[in-house]
Structure 1
Amino acid sequence: MAKDKVDIRDVAALAGVSVGSASRVINGAENVSPETRDKVERAIAILDYRPNHTAQALRSRSSKTIGCLFTDVTNPLYARLFRSLEERLRKDGYMLLLANGLNDAQRETETLAMFGRRGMDGVIAAPGNETDAQVLAALNGLPMPVVVLDRDMATPGCDALLFDHAAGMKAAMAELFAQGHTRIALALWRASSRPVRRRIEGYRAAYKAAGLRVPDMLVQAASATSSVFADVNALLQRADRPTAIIAQGTYTLGSTLRAIEANGLRVPQDISVVTIGDTDFARDHAPSISLLNVDAQRVAEGIATLLRSRMADAGQPGRSERVPLQFTDRGSIGPAPRP
């Protein structure tokens, strides 16, 4: 039977530790010895102690919660990032609350407003609408630290963590150039987003740096599933078809591989393929697909650092950090076929 009005002092007394030590265990702090943590957790179980998080938040003015807005949580990249973010922020005693923006400006605006009303300690935002006035106003109006993830947004009071897509694209292109490829297609969608813009910049810059003309082989589909197959299929039926394709993400990669198969081509004997983002699909394909990828743990650490810094000094100017993309060759790149 649980004791009436059990409080943290009862827990500390039963565990034989100070109230401060009990508090650190309850709040998930890391600077606690395993022995002390075990004593406090056993005392909590015996007393059936349940912290009043609302009261704690009122006293400390901290909800120990970080709001996270992603434009599409079904994207495998965001799923990996969320997992790493949750694990990293948990070490600092924070819970991560995930919201799905669905690339809908009104939904994103309402979600950000809700984060503000709920008194989150911080917000991580990767909205689908970079220039929408309502989304920008909602972000700029938040009273807590905000980290904008991989978006170019007019948010001077917010920090940003950006992926270096252009440099990553140049690295992938260099690998293909080294194998003799000069007709390289780039299959993308949603061309209005920062990642797509920067990838196109890197693609064109790589050709320019190599002293080569940029071919007319850029696929910018209306959606990842509606027209990528048709557009890539049309490229593959040209007399000067591409000998390599860089495909954005899981959905675009799937449509690209279907088009390659439909044209009786083999990877990498007839055509080389590179994708963006590490997924089970790319890893399990035969052959495994070479890729550009960000280190999710490095991203999580960078965001946690920006949030902590902003919490400590809310008045500092907005900061921008960059995370590189890493190229991994998994066997889907081969020499360019001879004419």
Structure 2
Amino acid sequence: MQDKKIRIQDVAAMAGVSVGSASRVLNQAANVSPDVRAKVEHAMAQLEYQPSHTARALRSRSSRTIGCMFSDITNPLYARAFRTLEDAFRADGYMLLLAHGLNDVERELESLRTFQTRGMDGVICAPGHERAPELVALMNSMSMPIVLYDREMPDTRADALLFDHVRGMKDACNQLFAFGHERIALALWNADSRPVRKRIEGYKAAYCAAGMEPPDLILRQPTPTSSVYEDLLRMLEGPAPPTALIAQGTHILVSALRAVARTGRRVPQDFSVVSIGDSDFTQTHDPPITALRTDAELVAAHAKALLLDRLSGRVQIVAPPRTVVAPYALIERASWATRR
């Protein structure tokens, strides 16, 4: 390692180019020839040049950092989302700073204020309190672009990336109807958030479209990590038990499968199961679990495009909010079958 601090002037001198050309390579400008870029990158590697990100941020008024706040990062969906978002933004030279909202509105407000004071270029967030007026007010006061991750906050100026939960639920229910299942339980957590509202909406809409009254078989749990074991067990041992289940998330799904096994039912011979969300568990379980899944890489690409369009000026900051809807794919596996 060099004892002397290497400057951009040293890189330019070794590469045999102007300081301006070396700076354009460093800032990933487009108007640089491949030959110049190669020379500068080689010189940077030889000199072990480490740019001052603070100085670059002051000059460009860009921190190359995106704030990312999720309501509950223990949810595998958000953990996977952060990984794919980080990979997508890293390819464009951005780093992500993760904040855990914990479904606590005060903590979410604190996280957003921190993003603002630390000069984040933009924010991607999935707050647990879509309707909190103080969150809406804070978002509208922020100067950086914001992308809502599967949240609806129409009183904000934020762009939104939404999942088509209604269509996904209809697809799953319709296939279960085709298998002869008319009493389908739905297990999810008791949150007043868009994903939960839309899943219930899609579930009920599927029944109504099929000419059936939606049954009273919705189990709502306090948290995504709650057990549905006792509630589902009572339902399965009742006078009109369900013959199929759609379950949100791995924790609820695991406890549901325990309840099914406790009653002596076999999957899929006696009971069909669908997971909302795909995971290692659903893929490796015996039998593998049919799942509703989003394309994480496509979702990350959409989120990045929404944010970078604003940051680059391709879409003005003051332009009206935009919405992109990401579909679900129904991954058919061996956990469902025709009702006997």
Matches within 5 A, 1:107-122: 107-122=107-122
CA contact (8 A) 1:29 1:93 kept: no
Unaligned runs of 5+ in 2: none
Specify whether residues 190 and 16 from structure 1 end up closer, same or farther in structure 2 by C-alpha distance, changes over 3 A only.
Answer: farther
SS at match of 2:89: helix
Residue of structure 2 equivalent to 1:321: 324
CA contact (8 A) 2:227 2:252 kept: no
Residue of structure 2 equivalent to 1:123: 123
1:84 aligns with 2:90: no
Residue of structure 1 equivalent to 2:43: 43
Residue of structure 2 equivalent to 1:255: 255
Q: Among the aligned pairs, what percent are the same residue?
A: 56
Deviation at 1:47, TM superposition (A): 2.2
CA contact (8 A) 1:6 1:49 kept: yes
Matches within 5 A, 1:1-339: 2=2, 4-17=4-17, 19=19, 22-27=22-27, 39-311=39-311, 312=313, 313-337=316-340
Q: How many residues align structurally? A: 337
Deviation at 1:49, TM superposition (A): 2.0
- In the alignment, the residues of structure 1 paired with residue 213 and residue 43 of structure 2 have an alpha-carbon distance, to the nearest angstrom, of 71
The AA in structure 2 aligned to 1:248 is Q
Larger deviation: 244-253 or 1-10?
Answer: 1-10
Deviation at 1:230, TM superposition (A): 1.1
The AA in structure 1 aligned to 2:299 is V
SS at match of 2:73: coil
Specify whether residues 248 and 15 from structure 1 end up closer, same or farther in structure 2 by C-alpha distance, changes over 3 A only.
Answer: same
The AA in structure 2 aligned to 1:244 is A
Larger deviation: 203-212 or 154-163?
Answer: 154-163
When normalised by structure 2's length, the TM-score is 0.93
SS at match of 1:297: helix
CA contact (8 A) 1:161 1:322 kept: yes
Deviation at 1:256, TM superposition (A): 0.7
RMSD of aligned alpha carbons: 2.1
The AA in structure 2 aligned to 1:62 is S
Specify whether residues 20 and 162 from structure 1 end up closer, same or farther in structure 2 by C-alpha distance, changes over 3 A only.
Answer: farther
Unaligned runs of 5+ in 1: none
Specify whether residues 231 and 29 from structure 1 end up closer, same or farther in structure 2 by C-alpha distance, changes over 3 A only.
Answer: farther
SS at match of 2:300: helix
SS at match of 1:181: coil
CA contact (8 A) 1:28 1:91 kept: no
- In the alignment, the residues of structure 1 paired with residue 34 and residue 297 of structure 2 have an alpha-carbon distance, to the nearest angstrom, of 25
Deviation at 1:137, TM superposition (A): 2.2
- In the alignment, the residues of structure 1 paired with residue 171 and residue 138 of structure 2 have an alpha-carbon distance, to the nearest angstrom, of 37
Specify whether residues 315 and 224 from structure 1 end up closer, same or farther in structure 2 by C-alpha distance, changes over 3 A only.
Answer: closer
When normalised by structure 1's length, the TM-score is 0.93
